[in-house]
């Protein structure tokens, strides 16, 4: 989820307004995902390197995460979304930790969509600690940059990559549907040969 800050700056708004708009985009994407055949969705919300940002932006993001978890939990439950937050917990504000625990517990029994939120996450650190998630099929990065930025490095070994110039707050269900459509047309070989050539 990249481009919140630029989305806001382009509108003459503070960066925090971009993050709030980004949270609204999360709701739209999460609610559209199951209808597009997605069973697992992992969102990179805050990387271990994002602590380098100005303290007021970091604080605004932490408040937003806690507010999002509290206000969205009923909708997540209603939509059958199971939420798991992945990343270091020990550097997060205590109140955010409480909100994470509550949201995870409230959604633990849901099965329509497995939503993972990466918060204070580092792909390299996860590999060193052996904390690995399921393989990624499709990686979508918004905001125009074409890099991984310490996202699920191990899990993306054979991920299909999709880069969108849209800022995250503008990335909607139609964009997700288009990315999935393109993904389905790709031929994944995992180092092997095309099926027609193999036999
Ligand atoms: C959101 O976009 C990513 C987060 C860390 C929440 P950015 O905040 O990176 O937005 P840009 O890249 O400055 O536009
Ligand atoms: Mg960015």
Give per-residue pLDDT as tens, 24-48. Answer: 999 999 999 999 999 999 999 999 9
pLDDT at 65: 98
Question: Tokens at residue 16, please?
Answer: 């925090």
Classify residue 171: in a domain, yes or no.
yes
Residue 193 included in any domain: no
Is residue 15 situated within a structural domain? yes
Q: Considering the domain boundaries, does residue 49 fall inside one?
A: yes
Q: Is residue 119 within 8 Å of residue 65, measured between CB atoms?
A: yes
Q: Is the CB of 169 under 6 A from ligand 1?
A: no
Within-domain flag for 197 = no
First to last CA, the chain: 41
Burial class (CB in 10 A: 0-12, 13-18, 19+), 26: buried
The total number of structural domains in the chain stands at: 1
Residues annotated as catalytic are: 2, 50
Which-ligand-closest: CA of 119?
Answer: 1
Q: Flag whether 61 is in a domain.
A: yes
For the chain, what percent of residues have pLDDT higher than 90? 97
Q: Is residue 43 part of a domain?
A: yes
| Domain encompassing residue 64 | 4-186
- Length of the chain, please? 199
Q: For residue 66, tell me if it sits in a domain.
A: yes
Beta bridge partners of 47: 121
Could you tell me the CATH number of the domain that includes residue 16? 3.40.1180.10
pLDDT in tens, 133-163: 999 999 999 999 999 999 999 999 999 999 9
Cβ of residue 3 lying under 6 Å from some atom of ligand 1: yes
Q: Is the CB of 44 under 6 A from ligand 1?
A: no
Residue 35: closest CA among 172, 143, 177, 142: 177
Q: What is the pTM of this model?
A: 0.96
Q: Of the ligands numbered here, which is closest to the C-alpha atom of 17?
A: 1
pLDDT of residue 198: 59
Query: Is the torsion defined by CA of 59, 22, 99, 124 positive or negative?
Result: negative
Whole-number Å distance between alpha carbons of 20 and 148: 23
**Whether residue 197 has pLDDT greater than 80:** no
List pLDDT tens digits, range 170-183.
999 999 999 999 99
């Amino acid at each position: 989820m990249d481009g919140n800050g630029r989305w806001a700056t382009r509108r003459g708004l503070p960066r925090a307004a971009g993050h709030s708009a980004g949270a609204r985009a999360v709701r739209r994407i999460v609610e559209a995902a199951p209808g597009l055949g997605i069973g697992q969705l992992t969102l990179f919300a805050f990387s271990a390197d994002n602590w380098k940002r100005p303290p007021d932006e970091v604080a605004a993001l932490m408040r937003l995460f806690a507010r999002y978890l509290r206000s969205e939990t009923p909708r997540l439950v209603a939509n059958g979304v199971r939420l798991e937050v992945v990343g270091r917990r020990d550097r997060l504000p205590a109140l955010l930790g409480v909100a994470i625990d509550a949201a995870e517990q409230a959604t633990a029994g849901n099965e329509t969509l497995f939503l993972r939120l990466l918060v204070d996450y580092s792909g390299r650190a996860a590999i060193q600690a052996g904390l690995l998630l399921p393989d990624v099929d499709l990686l979508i990065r918004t905001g125009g940059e074409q890099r991984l930025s310490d996202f699920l490095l191990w899990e993306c070994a054979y991920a299909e990559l999709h880069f969108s110039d849209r800022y995250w707050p503008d990335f909607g269900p139609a964009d997700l549907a288009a990315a999935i459509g393109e993904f389905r047309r790709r031929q994944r070989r995992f180092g092997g040969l095309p099926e027609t050539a193999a036999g």
